[in-house]
Amino acid sequence: MSVPANLKYTKSHEWALLEADGTVTIGITDHAQEALGDIVFLELPDAGRTVKAGEECAVVESVKAASDIYAPIAGEVVAKNDAAIDAPESVNQDAYAAWLFKLKPANAADLNGLLDATAYEKVAAES
Amino acid sequence: MIQKTPLYDTHVAAGAKIVDFAGWQMPINYGSQIEEHHCVRTDAGMFDVSHMLAIDLVGAESQTFLRRLLANDVAKLTVPGKALYSCMLQEDGGVIDDLIVYFFTPTQYRIVVNAGTSEKDLAWMRLQAADFAVSLTPRRDLAMIAVQGPQARERFWTAFPVARSYSVTLGVFQAAEWDGWLIARTGYTGEDGFEIAVPADEAATVWQKLIEAGVKPAGLGARDTLRLEAGMNLYGQDMDETQNPLESGLTWTVDFKDASRDFIGKSALAGRQAAGSLKVFLGLLLLDKGILRAHQKVVTAQGNGETTSGSFSPTLNQSIALARLPAGVQPGDEVQVEIRDKLLKAQVVKPVFARNGKSQL
């Protein structure tokens, strides 16, 4: 299980990365893709949608089951990853490269409330 | 109670992801479920199905008992080793389980039932057997392995050359005993192959020899998408005690031919048939993007129906489902399926999507 140290995490297995341009890139963790199995469909939010922290805003479907994805922090969706929609298996191949969507955060400081890699490793080990 | 098959340690050592299935610790996959699926469609894969229960039936009235117990008619079985698929029904026509019965002699049969229903099935059979000269013996001392795929039989014979002469002439749904094993040309994937029952203490060795012959382990995940593509029902999902076989795509398994045979559930089914407007059980092919799952609402011109099983079809690279739909819906109709508050387009098809390595659409 890979848990990069430069990312922030949620208990619901999303990762978040603050980019240089102030946007936040969001995806699911390696642990999450492993648990889901072969991913075959992604439903991602359109640019312009405003989301609250913890709001269901995407769905990742594996052969086995559908899984809701929650916004780690509040903000406005500015992009979704069309390449991942066309090749959902890319999330299995590298869950940190195959991001799902990008947010313009309502308040970038909200990221400080998320888990760091060490804390997430404990969450993943217990789930 | 958590139960493990004789192959549990073998699965764990192979890196299988283990899940609970009807109280059994079973492998769902050994890596990629989709790769395991393709392996069975194109070459040969194997499944541990030891969680299913074999029940041996012996006694002078075995045939008479089964002709009462089962909706299909075992009188059709005359060649030793021949097998029959049947439902076992309640008096009201609801399905207690679906099973395979193997005929050896009119006084000796083997019945193989689902894992999750095995205790219930055995209790029901014993209750019904009280008035017949028969005895029922559950065989938890056996392990069962399904070797499936176009190369399954050849690879099985590579692993066990001596078994070839005993099993090479077996037709579909026919079995032969060999050295304490039962080798049956049956399966649940829509591919050729064998299901073999062996003493539990031989299971790990048999599994290893099959691996050496090029058979790849496959988990319950692939087993589910394979059976769904083949249009085979899953008990507890596509039918259960609240559904009858006539509205579950299983009319072909209910044998009314012998008017003098009174099987359990017969009068209820006859009444249901006479009442008309039976629901139809058909396949759905999702035309929009998404994944069909069980229990989604299906909107048709004749009213609403429901999906009973749904998933992604690795062979078709598209989502498929089995569905119970209002009378009058036919293959070719376009319907809508409600997925997360959206209505997506789907086409009604005959409920066989892929078998023998290719699309059946």
- Give the pLDDT score at A1: 81
Q: A40 CB near a chain B CB, below 8 Å?
A: yes
Helix orientation angle between B203-212 and B152-159, rounded to the nearest 10 degrees: 110
Per residue in B85-130, pLDDT tens?
999 999 999 999 999 999 999 999 999 999 999 999 999 999 999 9
Task: Find tokens 């008017």 and name the residue.
Answer: B259
Residue B316 identity? L
pLDDT at B68 over 90: yes
What is the CA B164 to chain-centroid distance, rounded?
25
| CB contact at 8 A, B312 and B319 | yes
- The CATH topology of domain B245-359 is Elongation Factor Tu (Ef-tu); domain 3 (2.40.30)
pLDDT at B295 over 90: yes
- Give the pLDDT score at A127: 80
Select the residue from B34, B36, B224, B295 to test the A interface by mutation, using most A Cβ atoms within 10 A.
B34
Which residues in chain A have their CB less than 8 angstroms from residue B28's CB?
37, 64
Q: Quickly state the pLDDT bin for B272 (edges 50, 70, 90).
A: very high
Which superfamily, per CATH, for B8-47+142-229? Probable tRNA modification gtpase trme; domain 1 (3.30.1360.120)
Average pLDDT (B164-182) is: 95
Closest CA to A102 of A60, A38, A44, A42: A44
First to last CA, chain A: 13
Residue B79 identity? V
Q: What is the pTM of this model?
A: 0.95
The per-residue pLDDT of chain B, averaged, comes to 97
Which residues in chain A have their CB less than 8 angstroms from residue B314's CB?
63
Average pLDDT (B18-41) is: 96
First to last CA, chain B: 43
DSSP structure class, residue A61: E
Binary contact (A43, B314; C-beta < 8 A): no
CA dihedral sign of residues A68, A69, A74, A80:
negative
Say how far apart CA B325 and CA B313 lie, in whole Å: 21
Q: Which residue ranges make up each domain of chain B? A: 8-47+142-229, 54-138, 245-359
Q: How far is B21 from chain A (nearest CA, A)?
A: 14
Domains of chain A by range and CATH? 8-126 (2.40.50.100)
- Look up the ipTM and state it: 0.88
Say how far apart CA B242 and CA B298 lie, in whole Å: 19
SS3 for A84?
helix
Per residue in B302-347, pLDDT tens?
999 999 999 999 999 999 999 999 999 999 999 999 999 899 999 9
Say how far apart CA B274 and CA B147 lie, in whole Å: 42
Average pLDDT (B56-78) is: 98
Say how far apart CA B325 and CA B282 lie, in whole Å: 7
Strands B45-48 and B216-217, sheet pairing: parallel
Q: A61 CB near a chain B CB, below 8 Å?
A: yes
C-alpha separations of A86 from A44, B273, B306 in Å: 12, 47, 29
| CB contact at 8 A, A24 and A112 | no
- Give the pLDDT score at B323: 98
Among B290, B311, B340, the residue with its CB nearest the CB of A63 is B311
Q: How far is A93 from chain B (nearest CA, A)?
A: 11
Among B33, B290, B340, the residue with its CB nearest the CB of A63 is B33
Average pLDDT (B157-169) is: 96
Mean pLDDT by 10 residues, chain A (127 residues): 95 97 97 95 97 97 95 98 97 98 96 97 91
Residue of chain A nearest B32, judged by CA positions: A38
Say how far apart CA B281 and CA A84 lie, in whole Å: 35
| CB contact at 8 A, B326 and B300 | yes
DSSP structure class, residue A112: G
Residue B164 identity? R
CATH of domain B54-138: 3.30.70.1400
Which residues in chain B have their CB less than 8 angstroms from residue A37's CB?
17, 28-29, 32-33, 221
- Give the pLDDT score at B1: 77
| Strand runs labelled E in A30-81 | 39-43, 50-51, 56-62, 66-70, 75-80
Query: DSSP of B130-193, one letter per residue?
Result: TTSS-EEEE-TTEEEEEEESTTHHHHHHHH-GGGHHHHTT--TTBEEEETTEEEE---SSSS-E
